[in-house]
Structure 1
Amino acid sequence: MDLLPDDMVASIFGRLPPCSLAASRCVRRKWCAIIDTRRLLRADLLPLRLDGFFFLEEDLRGGKYFFSRPSTGRRISGRLTDFLPDECYGDTMILDHCNGLLLLWERVANPATRQSVHLPPFPDPCTEGFYPVFFLAYDPIVSPQHYEIVLIPLVPSTRIEESSNIKFREDSEWPPSIFTTHVFSSTKWRWEERSFVREGEAAGTIADMHSDWQARRRHAVYVRGALYVHCQNDSVMRITLCDDK
């Protein structure tokens, strides 16, 4: 198909069912560009709708509120305790969310299906002395059953010299050229250490990251196979999970 004009390739893709089209999108970058540019996959899934959303308070209380139409409320429960096991009642803080899935402490929940699953224990950061922040990566168009969780180490608020167990100096680049962290795969059902190669210059130094260390101010967005992480110096770090960059 490489010898065919893009318009002809798009015409062929337009005849595929959504599942096959989603699989074709993952084969080659050129195919992905053709499908995305012409919005072939989205056209098959329209109309899209927003059934509801959670509002999270950024304070120590960690309050959460679910907003939806009355008709939606009968199908999707914003009360997580309606379907979570009894042992979760005291710990329902939402750590992250992505395309309808919620990440709780060592648990993933789906309010639409009222299902949840307990995860293996969360690991500590590979960088000793740093704080862990966990982000969810899930694209139901590519794979409705598969998701990943990425641990992002948070630079502590104390000065590096004051913590003898931290290997980095204040002037160390962040992120480092080889960024190693833990990633959970729902397919393998385990946490693994993965190393990502930095492309381009560093976002800053360790000293730059001390300005804002609060975990609840850190957010991430997962788009087309890449996780965009809001770093502590207000830069954005892109992590491509498919090719470790």
Structure 2
Amino acid sequence: MGSKHSKETTSISNASYHVPIGSSRIPFVALQEATNNFNESLVIGKGGFGKVYRGVLSDGTKVALKRCNPESQQGLAEFDTEIEILSQFRHPYLVSLIGYCEERDEMCMVYEYHENSTLRSHFFGSNIPRMSWEQRLEICIGAATGLHYLHTNSVIHCDVKSTNILLDENFVAKITDFGLSKTIHRFDQTRVCTVVKGTLGYIDNEYLIRGQLTQKSDVHSFVVALFEVLCARPAIDQSLPGQ
């Protein structure tokens, strides 16, 4: 693949690989081992980029592995953007990138695994016990802190929603999925986009209608997610008339 992250390829044997946290490039064979050759029973999510698998590296580290669908139209651009953002910024309320793989026609990203899935999964279509109001408040404050950190570093997430807020074993919020993110100049807080990207129900009208993207676009999306947490109702409910 023609990504700007490409490096000279080295030969890879079939031996097991020890992949410590903090490494950047991970051999594809190590990811095959971690996911039992991408066993479908380990799929924990799907999106425009591809599938997300649960896995365990050879050192015992639990990971979430996002594998690009080679037919995806958005794969390469999002792959580069996500690596660029997560390589630059580290924060307690942002998901951590452990490494990536770009080998032959394969593009994969490896993240820390979060035991409690997405924020959305705790409210819609699951048998997971409901959170206390105190838990909800702490999660929302954590996500807001992570979003504020991005904005102070001139990054617009562009796809804030309850499925892009992960929860670790202690229910600490972690913002994820930076494939659509944009950087802005600190003296020019608006970007005009010819193609609007994001999730319907969360996109603000200024961005949707005029293509004007600002940090307020993220704030609008986050407020929609807050209402989901408050009301335990999805942003768009297809069962309702007019939706």
Instruction: Indicate whether the TM-score tops 0.5.
Output: no
Taking CA–CA contacts closer than 8 Å with sequence separation of 6 or more, which of the two structures ends up with the larger relative contact order?
2
The structure with the greater share of residues assigned to helix is 2
TM normalised by structure 1 equals: 0.24
Q: Which has the higher strand share?
A: 1
Superposition TM-score, scaled by structure 2 size:
0.24
Whose radius of gyration is greater, 1 or 2?
1
